Structure 1
């Protein structure tokens, strides 16, 4: 098949997305597909008079990348485009996507996961992997998704929302410190802080509002940290995340040597593991997610607590979903193939949302 791997874009997680995209592209080629990597924001310069379909014969990707730990601002990303324009879809992206049998979304964060790209592809009758625009938008917004989880009886930390127009000072929280402060719509722990007093809360809100107009403040939940991927309704083994120091922030997620991963740990009680799998599938269902995703957990004596769901989980060399699949004997190439085939079946059955 002709497959566009769409990555990059305008998100603060742009660099992570590019690493995922390269690896996905290489794997799809190894599986026999005509896959091409396209940067959503920078686009692709077609030769004069060339048809969009010619890109599938161009082996323009052949390596994995080291991920920079730089957090990119809008100004940083806009400066990459030399023509001075800033629209999300770069030159020729839409035409190239139309020429593909399906688009594999290797995007992370921002417009890649909030449903905007998915809606645009839907409007142009372009098939793509992952969930649809509505479920993506709900899942990307931590306030909306946590309200839905709580409605359905899924344990998740108590929270409040503070918007930019409410300012950064004078906030009375309904729970005590420490708390976790995050952008309401974001990922990869960009802009996330563990806060212990009012002064730290103010500083964390200043930082969050660099990335988002809304901050979510959560009661601090202690426990062992796990993640569990679901592909086409199948829950993979949970992976435990053990950081060497600190907590599982951006650096720990995407730079080697900072974190140990165990899939699954020998001391994880089977009943707890089964409950994680059940809750992961349930969380996907209540949020309307389909094809594939990942659910992050804390586990303690009070049970399993959902941190958040991810509608386009990372596919880099250090990402969690590929490690979980490998623990069950599923090679990376077979994993991406199953994602493509699973979404094509949903389209064939008229079930793609």
Structure 2
């Protein structure tokens, strides 16, 4: 049996689900195309399907057996697409419905982290603009406001005065039901990728011209620098990776994913968020970490498919 036939036997016809309706559509289009090309290079019977159309009928009528989820944000990381694929009997990459629904909502995930002894920036659930004085007293200036269920740092604002707060909160409430205010951390951010149950080498992120690692810094800026290996002392990196592994296990994420965090003065990770469908673009961090241990992009995409489907 040749490699192509072997992959067809393992995975069947594979749908790379991408695009969709979320605010992260543009990034999903890039991720999906990159993954599709990688799978083709690995002789997988891969097909791009934009979920903005009538994709459910297409999945059924064309007899797809597996799906590589390349949908970011609410389209791919809140559990809905996973539920649909479960009903259709189609195997898929990444975390299951429950894990996605818990991690997509920052309020839920932060409370779960805290109740299990992990650190995350102090935060407040915002009701209206009258909360400003309470937030200022608790979190100090500046602080961050963000939607509970967005990714790619979309809708994240640093608040330095009350005028900023009123304006940005009004903007966020037009498109989001739940908003949180969070303590602002300035400094290098770190990320830990996961592949097949193993935490990859940590990546240090320096968003040179930005106050934090925002959408511009993640996907557009050429000034953002990435350091992998992270330059942390080996003993510190080892302990941080162990803690990250515990967090992935807590949320039952074991095939692939990503954790974003700061490291405090005690060399402990302070977790920002979990990503169940990390980006796979030229700026993306999981491919960078995988490359550090000798896994190229094509083989990474194939391994994510293999470890998820199995």
> Normalized against structure 2, the TM-score is what?
0.90
Alignment of 1:126-165 (within 5 A): 126-162=90-126
Partner residue of 1:167 out of 94, 113, 128: 128
Partner residue of 2:28 out of 17, 32, 57: 17
TM-superposed CA distance for 1:295, in Å, is 0.3
TM-superposed CA distance for 1:116, in Å, is 0.8
Alignment of 1:51-200 (within 5 A): 90=55, 92-95=57-60, 99-162=63-126, 166-171=127-132, 172-173=134-135, 174-200=138-164
Q: Distance in 2 between matches of 1:149 and 1:236?
A: 21
Partner residue of 2:299 out of 324, 334, 337: 334
Over residues 49-82 of structure 1, what are the superposed CA-to-partner deviations in whole Å (9 max), with x where a residue is unaligned? Answer: xxxxxxxxxxxxxxxxxxxxxxxxxxxxxxxxxx
Partner of 1:251: 216
TM-superposed CA distance for 1:235, in Å, is 0.8
TM-superposed CA distance for 1:275, in Å, is 2.2
TM-superposed CA distance for 1:199, in Å, is 1.9
Verify the 8 A CA contact 1:228 1:276 in the aligned structure 2: no
User: The residue matched to 1:265 in structure 2 has which SS?
Assistant: coil
Verify the 8 A CA contact 1:223 1:299 in the aligned structure 2: no
TM-superposed CA distance for 1:103, in Å, is 0.1
Alignment CA distance shift 1:213-1:318 (3 Å): same
Over residues 175-234 of structure 1, what are the superposed CA-to-partner deviations in whole Å (9 max), with x where a residue is unaligned? Answer: 212111111001001000111222222222122223311111111234421111011111
Alignment CA distance shift 1:253-1:294 (3 Å): same
Verify the 8 A CA contact 1:275 1:304 in the aligned structure 2: no
Verify the 8 A CA contact 2:106 2:273 in the aligned structure 1: yes
Verify the 8 A CA contact 2:193 2:259 in the aligned structure 1: yes
User: The residue matched to 1:187 in structure 2 has which SS?
Assistant: coil
Q: Distance in 1 between matches of 2:165 and 2:240?
A: 31
Does structure 1 residue 312 correspond to structure 2 residue 277?
yes
User: The residue matched to 1:194 in structure 2 has which SS?
Assistant: strand
The gaps in structure 1 that reach 5 residues or longer are: 44-89, 346-353
Verify the 8 A CA contact 2:261 2:273 in the aligned structure 1: yes
User: The residue matched to 2:180 in structure 1 has which SS?
Assistant: strand
Verify the 8 A CA contact 2:194 2:254 in the aligned structure 1: no
TM-superposed CA distance for 1:256, in Å, is 4.5
Q: Distance in 2 between matches of 1:101 and 1:333?
A: 20
**Equivalent residues, number:** 294
The gaps in structure 2 that reach 5 residues or longer are: 1-7
TM-superposed CA distance for 1:148, in Å, is 0.7
Q: Distance in 1 between matches of 2:14 and 2:281?
A: 18
TM-superposed CA distance for 1:147, in Å, is 0.7
Partner residue of 2:200 out of 228, 232, 236: 236
TM-superposed CA distance for 1:170, in Å, is 4.2
Q: Distance in 2 between matches of 1:317 and 1:99?
A: 32
Verify the 8 A CA contact 1:298 1:307 in the aligned structure 2: yes
Q: Distance in 1 between matches of 2:206 and 2:48?
A: 33
1 or 2, which has the higher helix percentage? 2
Q: Distance in 1 between matches of 2:53 and 2:88?
A: 20
Verify the 8 A CA contact 2:31 2:280 in the aligned structure 1: yes
User: The residue matched to 1:136 in structure 2 has which SS?
Assistant: helix
Verify the 8 A CA contact 2:189 2:213 in the aligned structure 1: no
Verify the 8 A CA contact 1:119 1:133 in the aligned structure 2: yes
